[in-house]
């Protein structure tokens, strides 16, 4: 422990609480007397290569607390996916600055980066402790009960559907809301928590864990519409056909891919518009509206779960404790230890890196278009306190005349 | 005052506080000893024709208070635009039920309905008091400082852009957010209140009060992107070319119109996608994302201005007082009487009905792509208390090595 320098960075898509983890690292690290400096890298691994470091040790604790409550990545993020050579560059910079602890807050792509950097350090006999701190609204990290960022995004989706359902009840028709989630349907499934009364929407939920068949979709929308005179549908942007081809990319003119080879699904309203066009033309329903929740669901300021905030802070703190008191690299995981309580564990990087969790079968209803009570029990405590609740006028009909 | 019956209904698009006005009417009316029954019509004027009435007098005050805090129209709404004949039908039903006071909560289309029904009653010598209670997220009623519903929607838009700006700063590129507003740009302009730091977005704001020229738009996006390495844009769904043709309808395959002859602009992501495609292809910028805020901005549960709640309740209460103590029909208007305080007036129906207010010139910056301080001073008090505020890490750069 010669230099006493630690480095923290943030990768991948922002969340409402990712800065809680950053601040958790910064404040907890300074409680260790061997830590002299806490550096932050601007824009993830890209900022390491470019040596764009800021000294978080010179921040005030007040401003850190304010930043912790601000959504999106305060240090900036990146979509760069480091290969072998990129990781060697990262390692070179860390060594030059005598960084001894590397904390990377991100999803499964970021955990893979931590894994490669960790291996590179071992290969070179450089004493670098590498810890992956989980973050993703997709909730798709294996080994965790859930991931920081997911609860707040889930709360946004549940509140959005609670409102969309009220809107749709007021002006009946079909409403399709498209939710983020490439492979895992957790966030789309969260729409179910927006229901209160038995006939509340979303009435149909389409997840990437199930094959999407357009004919079935239309028949299910029609059945609901015939029954209730309206229909609210939650659709994951990641829905795909039997061959695994995303429905969104079946119609996109120019498919855009990121450095990870992922097709761009967000930031376009194409999927919602396609599904609405099909409903209008095939079912002859006039009032059909589609919304794509887009970036609002991960960055909206002012919709956050207090449970999520607390846990995101704790994974940052625990990462530092695992690094300082443990003797191995790893990925911090949240474990449910009560109803509702959590504990934290350090998993092997290999157990998490690059792997994707999807919704377990017992969370999805047998008909494939709804969630189970097990999912509702799983998600409800994560949404936190003060969830707004809709109320209805009770029925007191007035007799018609004549 | 033989029957002691009053009727209240809600028309047009829902808002976050429209039920405050409904409950304001219901609770205030019962304080008058000549009021025996408060009826609500389901789905606006449609529910009058169909005699779909509920007896609000049988509601508990507790449930009414809970409903007041619930967004969207608790009685249901309608897009029906009554013509002469339709209004005669309305009048026939009101007379049959011996309704003596008719309160209609809605926008400028609804105020026109109230005007026609009022005339019909006069023509028939039937003593019906007709009061229009303002409501619209568009803020486009003439004679009012602002309209209930607008402040909460404006708060949603400001919070959404505050978050989108943070997201865009984290993962730089171009972000286009499309906001509701057919003719009036107030709601799109509210995006400016999401800014805090000098380089915060939205960097460009396009309003329906100004002619939209694609070439200028692209040049302005390019200039911002060149300067900041990123660009956040707020666009009204109502932007149009010099001939008045909506940019959205220039590309829509099947243009859908409602009963008022309005082209459907919301519930489709087409405009955002078109603008993003142009930016990608013309400016060769890779990371371009578009969101259409859609129905979230008017129905999201849990994003509401407390000032808006209070005023929406008061316009309902004042409507009843004007009806009971005044001697004429009219439309309730909010007048600003301090910084910040309001008072209420009853305007002639003819002064409001079917007219559209747009943003006054002094609220729009000379360059046409921003708002003025006058607009910021106008809007800020309406957004209410507890607006979430973003914070940043301060710059403490670490010297680069080598």
Say what the pLDDT of residue A258 is.
Answer: 58
**Across B196-204, average pLDDT:** 97
The verdict on B186 and B265 lying in the same domain is yes
Say what the pLDDT of residue A1 is.
Answer: 45
The verdict on B122 and B191 lying in the same domain is no
* Residue bearing tokens 């009414």: B64
- Cβ-Cβ pairs closer than 8 A, A with B, add up to 245
Domain assignment of residue A50, yes or no:
yes
**Can you name the residues that pair with A41 across neighbouring β-strands?**
A53
Neighboring chain A residues of B10 at a CB cutoff of 8 Å: 170
Query: Is pLDDT at B2 greater than 80 in this prediction?
Result: no
Domain assignment of residue A399, yes or no:
no
The verdict on B171 and B131 lying in the same domain is no
Domain assignment of residue A395, yes or no:
no
Q: How far apart are CA A277 and CA B236, in angstroms?
A: 23
Strands B37-41, B5-10: pairing kind: parallel
Question: To the nearest whole number, what is the mean pLDDT of chain B?
Answer: 94
Query: Is pLDDT at B254 greater than 80 in this prediction?
Result: no
B343 membership: H or E segment, kind and range: strand B341-347
Domain assignment of residue A28, yes or no:
yes
CB-based contact A72 B273, cutoff 8 Å: no
Neighboring chain A residues of B387 at a CB cutoff of 8 Å: 302
Domain assignment of residue B24, yes or no:
yes
Strands B330-338, B129-134: pairing kind: parallel
CB-based contact B300 A270, cutoff 8 Å: no
Say what the pLDDT of residue A249 is.
Answer: 77
CB-based contact A302 B298, cutoff 8 Å: no
Locate A96 and state its tokens: 């030059």
CATH number of A367's domain: 3.40.50.460
The verdict on A163 and A125 lying in the same domain is no
pLDDT in tens, chain A (402 residues): 457 999 999 999 999 999 999 999 999 999 999 999 999 999 999 999 999 999 999 999 999 999 999 999 999 999 988 888 998 899 999 999 999 999 999 998 899 999 999 999 999 999 999 999 999 999 999 999 999 999 999 999 999 999 999 999 999 999 999 999 989 999 999 999 999 999 999 999 999 999 999 999 999 999 999 999 999 999 999 999 999 999 987 755 555 565 666 666 666 788 998 899 999 999 999 999 999 999 999 989 999 999 999 999 999 999 999 999 998 999 999 999 999 999 999 999 999 998 999 999 999 999 999 999 999 999 999 999 999 999 999 989 999 997
* Residue bearing tokens 């994302």: B289
Say what the pLDDT of residue A261 is.
Answer: 60
Q: Among A80, A138, A140, A200, which one carries the catalytic annotation?
A: A138
Query: Is pLDDT at B255 greater than 80 in this prediction?
Result: no
Q: How far apart are CA B168 and CA B177, in angstroms?
A: 12
Q: Which of A15, A6, A3, A2 is nearest to A313 (CA)?
A: A15
B332 and B322 Cβ atoms separated by less than 8 Å? yes
Q: How far apart are CA B177 and CA B231, in angstroms?
A: 11
**Across B169-195, average pLDDT:** 97
What are the DSSP calls for B347-358, one per residue? Answer: E-HHHHTT----
The verdict on B102 and B222 lying in the same domain is no
Burial readout B124-158 (b: 16 or more C-beta within 10 A, e: otherwise): eeeebbbbbbbbbbbbbbbbbebbbbbbbbbbbbb
| Predicted structure pTM score | 0.95
The verdict on A342 and A308 lying in the same domain is yes
Q: How far apart are CA A315 and CA B198, in angstroms?
A: 33
**Judging by beta carbons within 10 Å of its beta carbon (0-12, 13-18, 19+), is residue A204 exposed, middle or buried?**
buried
Say what the pLDDT of residue A266 is.
Answer: 64
Say what the pLDDT of residue B325 is.
Answer: 93
Band (B292; pLDDT cuts 50, 70, 90): very high
CB-based contact A288 B299, cutoff 8 Å: no
The verdict on A140 and A253 lying in the same domain is no
Reported as a single tens digit per residue, the pLDDT across B50-84 is 999 999 999 999 999 999 999 999 999 999 888 88
Band (B261; pLDDT cuts 50, 70, 90): low
Reported as a single tens digit per residue, the pLDDT across A173-216 is 999 999 999 899 999 999 999 999 999 999 999 999 999 999 99
Strands A37-41, A53-55: pairing kind: antiparallel
Q: How many CB atoms lie within 10 A of CB A218?
A: 16
The verdict on B45 and B137 lying in the same domain is yes
The verdict on B184 and B285 lying in the same domain is yes
If one counts the domains in chain A, the total is 2
CA distance to partner chain A, nearest, from residue B402 (Å): 9
Which positions ≥6 away from A212 have C-beta within 8 Å? A206, A239, A240, A241, A247
Say what the pLDDT of residue A373 is.
Answer: 98
- CA dist A6 → A48, A50, A82 (Å): 13, 17, 20
Hey, of B282, B391, B401, which one would you mutate to test binding to chain A, going by the most A CBs within 10 A of its CB?
B391
CB-based contact B167 A298, cutoff 8 Å: yes
CB-based contact A72 B167, cutoff 8 Å: yes
Reported as a single tens digit per residue, the pLDDT across A201-212 is 999 999 999 999
Q: How many CB atoms lie within 10 A of CB B373?
A: 10
Say what the pLDDT of residue B1 is.
Answer: 45
The verdict on B36 and B90 lying in the same domain is yes
CATH number of B88's domain: 3.40.50.450
Which of B13, B78, B163 lies nearest to residue A71, judging by beta carbons?
A: B163
The verdict on B141 and B24 lying in the same domain is yes
Domain assignment of residue A271, yes or no:
yes
Domain assignment of residue A124, yes or no:
yes
Locate A186 and state its tokens: 């957790």
B56 membership: H or E segment, kind and range: none
- The domain of B85 spans 5-148+303-352
Active-site residue flag, A138: yes
Domain assignment of residue B196, yes or no:
yes
Reported as a single tens digit per residue, the pLDDT across B295-315 is 999 989 999 999 999 999 999
Query: Is pLDDT at B213 greater than 90 in this prediction?
Result: yes
The verdict on B160 and B285 lying in the same domain is yes
Poorest-pLDDT segment among B59-63, B146-150, B269-273, B281-285 = B269-273
Neighboring chain A residues of B268 at a CB cutoff of 8 Å: 269, 272-273, 276, 289-290
CB-based contact B13 A171, cutoff 8 Å: yes
Neighboring chain B residues of A272 at a CB cutoff of 8 Å: 268-269
Closest A-chain CA to B170: A76
């Amino acid at each position: 422990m010669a230099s006493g320098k630690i480095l923290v960075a943030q990768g991948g898509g922002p969340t409402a609480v990712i800065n809680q983890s950053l601040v958790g690292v910064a404040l907890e690290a300074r409680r260790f007397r061997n830590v002299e400096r806490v550096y932050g890298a601007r824009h993830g691994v890209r900022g390491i290569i470019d040596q764009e470091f800021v000294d978080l040790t010179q921040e005030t604790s007040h401003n850190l607390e304010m930043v912790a409550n601000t959504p999106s990545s305060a240090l900036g993020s990146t979509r760069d996916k480091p290969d072998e050579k990129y990781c060697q560059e990262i390692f070179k910079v860390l060594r030059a600055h005598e960084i001894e602890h590397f904390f990377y807050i991100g999803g499964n792509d970021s955990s893979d980066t931590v894994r490669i950097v960790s291996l590179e350090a071992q290969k070179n006999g450089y004493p670098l402790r590498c810890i992956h701190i989980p973050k993703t609204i997709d909730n798709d990290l294996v080994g965790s009960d859930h991931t920081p960022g997911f609860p707040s995004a889930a709360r946004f989706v549940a509140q959005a559907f609670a409102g969309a359902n009220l809107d749709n009840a007021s002006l009946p028709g079909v409403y399709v809301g498209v939710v983020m989630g490439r492979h895992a349907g957790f966030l789309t499934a969260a729409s179910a928590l927006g229901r209160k009364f038995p006939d509340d929407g979303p009435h149909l939920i389409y997840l990437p864990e199930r094959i999407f068949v357009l004919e079935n979709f239309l028949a299910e929308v029609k059945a609901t519409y015939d029954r209730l005179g309206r229909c609210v549908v939650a659709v994951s942007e990641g829905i795909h056909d039997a061959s695994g081809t995303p429905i969104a990319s079946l119609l996109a003119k120019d498919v855009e891919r990121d450095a990870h080879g992922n097709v761009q699904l967000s930031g376009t309203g194409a999927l919602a518009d396609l599904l609405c066009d099909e409903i209008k033309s095939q079912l002859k329903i006039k009032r059909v509206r589609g919304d794509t929740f887009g970036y609002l669901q991960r960055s909206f300021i002012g919709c956050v779960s207090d449970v999520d905030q607390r846990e995101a802070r704790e994974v940052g703190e625990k990462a530092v404790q695992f690094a300082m008191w443990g003797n191995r690299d790893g990925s911090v995981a949240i474990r449910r230890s009560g109803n509702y309580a959590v504990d934290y564990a350090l998993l092997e990087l290999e157990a998490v890196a690059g792997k994707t969790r999807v919704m377990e079968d017992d969370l999805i209803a047998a008909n494939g278009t709804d969630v189970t009570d097990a999912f509702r029990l799983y998600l409800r405590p994560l949404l936190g306190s003060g969830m707004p609740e809709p109320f209805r006028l009770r029925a007191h009909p007035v007799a018609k005349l004549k």
